[in-house]
Amino acid sequence: MPESAPATDHAGRHALAWAGLALGAGAATWIWAFIHHTLLLYGDATAHLAIARRMVDSATPGLSQWGTVWLPLPHLLMAPFVLVTAWWQSGLAGSLPSLAALVVATWLLHRIVARQWGAVAAGWAAAFFCLNPSLLYLSVVPMTESIYLAAFLGVVERCVAYADEPRPATAWQIGAWGLAASLCRYDGWFLLPFALWVVARYAADAQRAMAAGLRFCLVAGIGPVFWLIYNWWYFDDPLAFVRGPYSARQIALRGGTYPGDHNLWLAALYFLKAVTLTCGVPLMLLATAGWLVWRGRGAGWLL
């Protein structure tokens, strides 16, 4: 059932408070990274900044500077800031969108958990999220992870709201967040069918499910369709991002295959190791325990 107005206001204040904590933690992390000269440690970070700068300052500025591989939303968000040369050179131009995305993502995660399990659980979730050292670092450098997480959590938060009250406006909102996700990382393309399933599953009847699904597709579908047209227009191949010279396929051919390719168990082992290295063993075990409790309470659909 939808939340009552007092409960919603109370949860909203808590969500804003945790978003403020995320901003403070991110700002402190940015200062640390700036002092230690690690804002541009990633080669990809400098490449993202270079793309944004070439959009506005190059011999041939414009959309063609996006290239074929990386999706354009992060570069669009950086473009206004790279006009300030000092911000571009220091990396701050790319840090600002990433840090803003961390704040938005923390706020959204708090809203998702508060709606299902209350403010206390939401506070713990927001704390583990916005104080994760790996995520904090990625949220103060010119990378795409925090921007995508904000878009992803926007889709989830609106899906949860739609499941409680399937309103047409919410279907449009899910589509808008899905569009942002699909223009940020290819993970967002994988996300869209699941969001569409939620939109159809929780509509009042078949006719409304069809209408809501159409609303979602009309907005979220813009991202993949635009990228196919963009690659065809500028590079004469709608799948240039898949098979072009800088695609993951071509890089794999030059550098060897991933050991987990077509090997589910080895891929799962690689994934588990990556999670452990990123989060640490205690947080990984705690997350696993939380997932088991979550399943036991019948909330598996949200997964």
Q: What is the pLDDT of residues 141-150, one digit of tens each?
A: 999 999 999 9
Q: What is the mean pLDDT of residues 155-178?
A: 94
Q: CA-to-CA distance for 83 and 85, rounded, in angstroms?
A: 6
- Read off the pLDDT band of 299 (50, 70, 90): low
Query: Which pLDDT score is estimated for 298?
Result: 62
Mean pLDDT of 64-88: 93
Distance CA 234, CA 142 (A): 25
Lowest mean pLDDT segment, chosen from 58-62, 208-212, 264-268: 58-62
**Residue 91 in this model has a pLDDT that exceeds 50:** yes
pLDDT number for residue 8: 56
Give residue 277's pLDDT. 86
Q: What is the pLDDT of residue 153?
A: 97
Mean pLDDT of 62-87: 93
Of residues 256 and 189, more confidence is placed in: 189
Identify the band that residue 210 occupies on the pLDDT scale cut at 50, 70 and 90: very high
3-state secondary structure 78-132: HHHHHCCHHHHHHCHHHHHHHHHHHHHHHHHHHHHHHHHHCHHHHHHHHHHHHCC
More confident residue, 53 or 293: 53
Q: Per-residue pLDDT averaged across 219-228, rounded?
A: 96
Residue 62 in this model has a pLDDT that exceeds 70 = yes
Higher per-residue confidence, 10 vs 85: 85
Mean pLDDT, all residues of the chain: 88
Q: Assign 46 a pLDDT band (cuts: 50, 70, 90).
A: very high
- Residue 92: predicted pLDDT: 95
pLDDT over threshold 50, residue 244: yes
The confidence score (pLDDT) of residue 18 equals 86
What band does 255 get if pLDDT is binned at 50, 70 and 90? Answer: low
Give pLDDT, residue 300. 53
- Position 1 confidence tier, pLDDT thresholds 50, 70, 90: very low
